[in-house]
Every structure is written in structure tokens, then in C-alpha cells.
């Protein structure tokens, strides 16, 4: 069936109108009319080819909400008229131990991302939510509660889960003091979640003009990262730091702000590890080496890596 969309024709070109054939739903699929789709920074990274080769035209969008229009005969959880969402993935092997434990995002065989992956059902490139119609297996469609405004709910499907997951995983709660580094799309979600979990929340930002917004989202205070005085005052303060900066940047290496129990840092060089939902823990054990224990959650296997300490 014909879908209307916005697609990027090349890495250096802006979005443009594009029509394509969306595959018909199989017996296990849900078809939905897309009402809203968030704009995620990953859309921009992919469209610009920052993460490797992309097949163009690329239709981004993985914060998708809409209303079900058709379901396959084997679908049991959804019916036409239901309000639903589709997030970052639309298929996986369903058989590996990661999939069986509900971690399809870390499928050992292949997670099929909502766009710029290969759809195992028809072999075409997946196309995201900057389009009028979506088709996805029932297992990758989520119910959207009536109480949620559809437009506001869309960013929960990527930025939301990306920040909710580490805060929950590390049990941020009443009594925790949390620093949210960066106040963009993810950072503002991080502030709201951490606050909702009962934590004391500070935003660490290089932009003084974001202080007002930070407080309006519920932050208890703001630390300006370029201010030595601010950074000194934050030394040893935090139990948990959530780093939402989308690119590699230079940490203030001598700041005691990083003496925390838990840190969630995502340097791009670690993406292949993190994408498998592995856990990295590190400590400086000698002058020039950090020993890092890597624990793969599915199998609970532990691998010790040695990483040159100066490698940033
Ligand atoms: Zn995203
Ligand atoms: Zn799998």
C-alpha cells in the first residue's frame, strides 16, 4: 500500500516528500495510521550517515504513535481503533536468550531497527514513522493508555525509555542525589523521571541560559560546567550521573564531581558494547591501566578487559 513520508535522499540533503510501498501486514502484524512521530537525535545521526553506511532514501522516525487500522488474523492484543506506539525496533530473532528474556533490543542474532534495517519479512529496508502508515509485528507494538496525550507521549518511545532504563536499573529513588549532564531531549526526560522517583536532581550544563528550563522541569539546582567554582562545589555530591551528551567531549578530568557510585557514560567508542546491553565497570588499578569488568547480562559471563587509561 502507498505510504506518504518525509525522507532524506542523501547524507547532505534535507528531508523531502517521498511516497513508497509499505508492505501488507502479515497474520502477526498490526497496521496503524501514524498520528505523531518524535524527532530523535538518532534520526539526524542516521540521516547524515554518522553511524555508517545508509541506504537512501531514508525515512527516519522511531517515536511513533497512532491508531490501529488493521490487524492480522493471529493478532490477539490489538484491534482497529486502539491507540498504540512503536519505538526503536520492529523485529528480532525471538529465539535467542536475550529475546526470550524480553531484551529484544540486544538480540544476539539481529535486532531489526525501525528504520535503516533490513526487514526479514520482505527483505526491503525498514522505514520509520515520518510516514502516514506503519506496519509492525504485534510483539513490537505497545498500548498507549487513554490518559496519555498522543503528541506528548511520542518521545517516551525512545528518549523516554533511554533515560528511564538506567535510572530504574540503578535504583534511583528517594534519598539519591542525581546529576543529569546535558539538558536536551534526553536530559529533560532524565530530570523529570529522577524527580518522579524521589531523587534530589541537579542539571550539569554548559549553557547558563538553560537554568530556568531545568528548574521548570523540576531540577533542584543547576551546575554550570564551565564554572570552576560550580564544579568544585559539586565534588563528591552525586550518587548517580546520567550523561546525555550526544557526542564525545572532554571531561574535566581533575574534577571530583565524577567520584560517584554509578556513572552512565556513553562514549561513542563503547556503542558496540552497550548496544549488547553489557555492563562496564571500571576502576584505576595501576598507573596507566584501568581494568574493566564486562558483564553480559544474558549469560552473566564476565570478561576482563584492559583499556589504556589515557584512551579517551
Ligand atoms: Zn531515538
Ligand atoms: Zn534474538
Task: Write phi, then psi, for 145 (nearest 5 degrees).
Answer: -60, 145
> 53 C-alpha vs ligand 1 centroid, how far in Å?
18
3-state secondary structure 65-85: EEEEEEECCCCCCCCCCCEEE
Considering every ligand atom, which ligand is closest to the CA of 43? 1
Percent with pLDDT over 70 in the chain: 79
Model pTM score: 0.83
Considering every ligand atom, which ligand is closest to the CA of 105? 2
Q: What is the mean pLDDT of the chain?
A: 84
Query: In CATH, which of 3.30.200.20, 3.30.1490.270, 3.40.640.10, 3.90.180.10 is domain 2-157?
Result: 3.90.180.10
Domain ranges (residues) in the chain: 2-157, 160-276
Cα torsion 114, 118, 122, 123 to 10°: value is 160
Query: In CATH, which of 3.40.50.720, 3.40.640.10, 3.40.50.1820, 3.90.190.20 is domain 160-276?
Result: 3.40.50.720
- Give the chain's largest Cα–Cα span: 63
Q: In the 8-state DSSP scheme, what is residue 17? A: E
3-state secondary structure of 154: helix
Nearest to 63 by CA among 152, 183, 188, 169: 152
pLDDT along the chain (312 residues), means of 10: 97 97 97 97 92 93 98 98 97 93 88 96 96 98 96 94 88 93 92 97 94 97 90 85 76 54 48 54 42 43 38 30
Considering every ligand atom, which ligand is closest to the CA of 103? 2
Q: Are strands 112-113 and 16-21 parallel, antiparallel or unpaired?
A: unpaired
> 281 C-alpha vs ligand 2 centroid, how far in Å?
25
Task: Write phi, then psi, for 64 (nearest 5 degrees).
Answer: -110, 130
> 255 C-alpha vs ligand 1 centroid, how far in Å?
30
Per-residue model confidence as pLDDT tens digits over 214-227: 999 999 999 998 88
Considering every ligand atom, which ligand is closest to the CA of 95? 2
CB 48 within 8 A of CB 54: no
Per-residue model confidence as pLDDT tens digits over 125-155: 999 999 999 999 999 999 999 999 999 999 9
Amino acid at each position: 500500500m502507498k505510504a506518504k513520508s518525509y525522507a532524506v535522499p542523501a547524507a547532505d540533503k534535507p528531508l523531502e516528500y517521498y511516497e513508497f510501498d509499505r508492505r501488507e501486514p502479515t497474520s502477526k502484524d498490526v497496521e496503524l495510521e501514524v498520528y505523531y512521530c518524535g524527532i530523535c537525535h538518532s534520526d539526524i545521526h542516521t540521516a547524515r550517515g554518522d553511524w555508517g553506511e545508509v541506504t537512501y532514501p531514508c525515512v527516519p522516525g522511531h517515536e511513533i504513535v497512532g491508531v490501529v487500522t488493521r490487524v492480522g488474523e493471529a493478532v490477539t492484543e490489538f484491534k482497529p481503533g486502539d491507540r498504540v506506539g512503536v519505538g526503536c525496533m520492529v523485529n528480532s530473532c525471538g529465539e535467542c536468550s536475550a529475546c526470550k528474556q524480553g531484551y529484544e533490543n540486544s538480540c544476539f542474532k539481529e535486532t531489526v531497527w525501525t528504520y535503516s534495517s533490513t526487514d526479514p519479512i520482505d527483505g526491503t529496508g525498514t522505514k520509520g514513522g515520518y510516514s502516514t502508515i506503519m506496519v509492525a509485528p504485534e510483539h513490537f507494538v505497545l498500548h498507549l493508555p487513554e490518559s496519555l496525550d498522543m503528541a506528548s507521549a511520542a518521545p517516551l518511545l525512545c528518549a523516554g525509555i533511554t533515560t528511564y532504563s538506567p535510572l530504574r536499573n540503578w535504583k534511583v529513588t528517594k534519598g539519591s542525589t542525581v546529576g543529569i549532564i546535558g539538558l536536551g531531549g534526553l536530559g529533560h526526560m532524565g530530570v523529570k523521571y529522577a524527580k518522579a522517583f524521589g531523587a534530589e536532581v541537579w542539571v550539569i550544563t554548559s549553557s547558563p541560559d538553560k537554568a530556568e528550563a531545568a528548574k521548570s522541569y523540576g531540577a533542584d539546582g543547576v551546575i554550570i560546567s564551565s564554572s570552576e567554582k560550580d564544579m568544585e562545589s559539586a565534588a563528591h555530591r552525586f550518587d548517580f550521573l546520567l550523561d546525555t551528551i550526544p557526542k564525545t567531549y572532554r571531561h574535566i578530568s581533575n574534577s571530583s564531581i565524577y567520584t560517584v557510585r554509578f556513572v552512565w557514560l556513553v562514549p561513542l567508542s563503547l556503542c558496540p558494547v552497550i548496544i549488547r546491553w553489557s555492563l562496564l565497570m571500571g576502576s584505576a588499578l595501576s598507573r596507566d591501566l584501568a581494568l574493566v569488568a564486562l558483564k553480559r547480562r544474558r549469560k552473566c559471563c564476565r570478561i576482563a578487559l584492559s583499556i589504556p587509561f589515557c584512551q579517551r
